[in-house]
Amino acid sequence: MKRIFAIGIVFFLSHVALSSDRLTGRTDTTRSVVYGTHGMVATSQPLAAQVGIDILKKGGSAVDAAIAADATLGLMEPVGAGMGGDLFAIVWDAKSGKLYGLNSSGSASRLATADKVRAMGYSEMPSFGGIPVTVPGCVGGWAELHQRFGKLPLSTLLTPAIRYANEGFPLSQVIAYYWKRGVLGLTDYKNFQKLYAPDGRIPAAGDIFRNPDLAATLGKIAKRGRDAFYTGEIARRIVDAVTEAGGFMTLADLKDYRPEWVEPISVNYRGYDVWELPPNGQGIAALQILAMLREFDLRKMGHNSVEYLHTLIEIKKIVYEDRARFYADPKFAKMNLDRLISREYALERLKLFNPRKAMQSIPAGEGILRNGDTVYLTVADGEGNMVSFIQSNYLGFGSGVVPERLGFTLQDRGALFSLKKGHPNELAPGKRPFHTIIPGFVTKDGQSVFSFGVMGGSMQPQGQVQVLCNIIDLGMDIQEAGDAPRFRHGGSSQPYGGVMEDGGTVYLESGVAAEVRRDLVRRGHKVAVTVGGYGGYQGIWRDPATGVLAGASESRKDGCAIAY
């Protein structure tokens, strides 16, 4: 009898072990939720997260910690971000009980026109070199956020990044993977190779990388603020580098640059208000998808069932046709945002939805982008303030253009302009391109609840929606919601040109069941199972009743959530 009982225990335990090695959480969850009360930072690189925590411990605000962490990420994760790129942020100010939105994306030079680029022989914007370089908005964004919400001096916030740049830091694994890909893909850019492959060697995971040029640049900004970047020697080197690489940039473009404070927009999803920034970003796509998903019972369908995936994929297709047609700089293109996220419009567009068959082509209504690499971070402090913060060079390291001895590469965000005459997103002087990076935020009953983001080009609205549905519809905790297997639909019509052909492709992570993949194919979807390209999620949930913070950082990146 004892022997039979023992065999039964072994069988039971082995069965449990086969399904999950964790005692808590879903079988695909990689780690526990992190909890704290005094503050929390979640980023895609652990050392940067620790920098943010150190700033909070010194009495800094959530925004102070976000700036310090982002400056460190620009050094440690240049495959996604840096001073040569743009940033967007949504800030919850506990004192006023209000959300503030900052659009710190840069515009095309006053010298840049679509006619000039077409005359060079291009039918669409190039991805690298000087032509797609737009004014970097990152440092201007730091200055605006710091002036409004900062507590500690800017020099204090930049000191950790300066120290790491001089002393060096060891590369983490995922970043090292993308670092190698970037260096091998940008062999024509000498300054880039000199900076990121010193002595002709590509650093690997665990290797120490130093960037004294970046330390010197950060030191000047620490002393003089934004003017050190947008005027003087740094500005001249940026202009010289872009001009030499065949692009358009003037000293006046840099000197005149100012970020813009904007009003976040929202839809109510099952009692939660989900907030995004308005265009020129793509955040409204997440809101349009949610406005349509309100009409379905996703809980009843079940997570990643064929009905669930088919519904989300088809609605994504519908919304991305609007995205390709209408999303652009609102100073140059008119759009009715209220209508686009209304229930009336959602129901009208849902007439296209077929619950049994995949759509192969879709018309835009009224009124897959190339994949980009980005860093997302979120911070909460002990006073109830939170910031959802996203920053990017666009395509990995960006344009490949590295100004002389500044220690960073310039973004290629202008690659997202259209060269199609009359398109709302057509390149024009002083115009901001369609933008992929979007910070997300959730409130409930007028209280801050969730600061989150999912980095990764066109994956971002898709990823945000999947995380939110996992939490709100399916009851997952914030770590489970990020770790759960995702889909990515690619091949939708693009804001810079091109149309969806044959319905695009549905990419699935390996955790999606084989029978579900087969059923999607039967419904007319083209399906591929791939590793990578599903975004990078960080999130902080705040309990309004207790003030307890819960943090999550998914396994697809190197990062972590740290609390104190």
Distance CA 433, CA 428 (A): 9
With 0-12 / 13-18 / 19 or more C-beta atoms within 10 angstroms meaning exposed / middle / buried, residue 430 is middle
Cα–Cα nearest to 383, from 164, 171, 129, 91: 91
- Hey, what are 488's tokens? 């990515």
Distance CA 459, CA 53 (A): 29
Known catalytic residue: 374?
yes
**DSSP string computed for 39-101:** EEEEESSHHHHHHHHHHHHTT--HHHHHHHHHHHHHHH-TTT--TTSEEEEEEEETTTTEEEE
Distance CA 309, CA 506 (A): 10
**DSSP string computed for 140-204:** HHHHHHHHHH--S-HHHHHHHHHHHHHH-EEPPHHHHHHHHHHHHH-TT-HHHHHHHSGGG----
Distance CA 169, CA 210 (A): 7
Cα–Cα nearest to 241, from 363, 28, 408, 15: 408
- Hey, what are 292's tokens? 């349509």
| Per-residue H/E/C for 159-177 | HHHHHHHHHCEECCHHHHH
Distance CA 197, CA 312 (A): 42
Burial 336-346 (b: 16+ CB within 10 A, else e): eeeebbeeebb
Residue tagged active-site, from 43, 159, 374, 443: 374
Q: Provide the 8-state DSSP code for 281.
A: B
Q: In what order do the strands lie in the sheet with 265-269?
A: 34-36, 549-553, 536-542, 447-455, 440-444, 272-276, 265-269
Instruction: Please identify every residue annotated as catalytic.
Output: 374
